[in-house]
Amino acid sequence: EVQLAINVAKARDSLMWFGGLYTMFLTGITIAKLKGKDVPHLVAAPVVLGAFGLAQVYDMAYGSKLIRVVKEAEHIMYHERGRFVPPKQAIFCDKYTDEERAVYADTGAVGMYWPRFLPFGRSGKGE
């Protein structure tokens, strides 16, 4: 509960700062247009993207986004438990079933993918 409350408080703080900055940006554009100055068309991109960003932060701060995220996390923890299998050296690794361990058994280590062409890259499947 403390961590969730901190997340909401951080979202509200971000909304305050970015909302103020976005308001100043839009005010500047509006004043420039009212004075008859040319405003580049590229300004539309930050206006639209900023609105989406602020809507997302607002949803986290005052809407139901946090509840939706928690429910998605509960779903993942219940239905996709195989994603959380720790390394076999962990003392609690035996708490996971063989079926859960097998979910991502064919996935290689990070060093197995890129950059294989470098002399220090791994070439075999490895443990």
Q: Supply the pLDDT for residue 101.
A: 86
Give the residue extent of every domain in the chain.
Answer: 2-79, 83-127
For 126, half-sphere exposure in the C-beta direction (CA atoms, 13 angstrom radius) is 11
- Tokens at 111, concatenated: 């060093």
Overall average pLDDT of the 94-115 stretch: 82
Helices H, strands E: what count in the chain?
Answer: 4, 0
- SS3 readout for 104-115: CCCCCCHHHCCC
- In three-state secondary structure terms, 89 is coil
> For the segment 61-97, what is each residue's pLDDT rounded down to a tens digit?
999 999 999 999 999 999 988 888 888 889 988 888 8
pTM of the model: 0.64
Distance CA 38, CA 49 (A): 21
> For the segment 40-59, what is each residue's pLDDT rounded down to a tens digit?
999 999 999 999 999 999 99
Q: Supply the pLDDT for residue 123.
A: 60
Q: Compute, in degrees rounded to 10, the torsion defined by CA atoms 16, 28, 34, 32.
A: -160
With residue 53 as reference, give the H or E element that holds it.
helix 44-62
Residues in the chain, total: 127
Please list, residue by residue across 76-112, b when 16 or more beta carbons sit within 10 angstroms of its beta carbon and e when fewer do: eeeeeeeeebeeeeeeeeeebeeeeeeeeeeeeeeee
Most confident of 7-11, 82-86, 108-112: 7-11
Q: Per-residue pLDDT for 106 more than 90? A: no
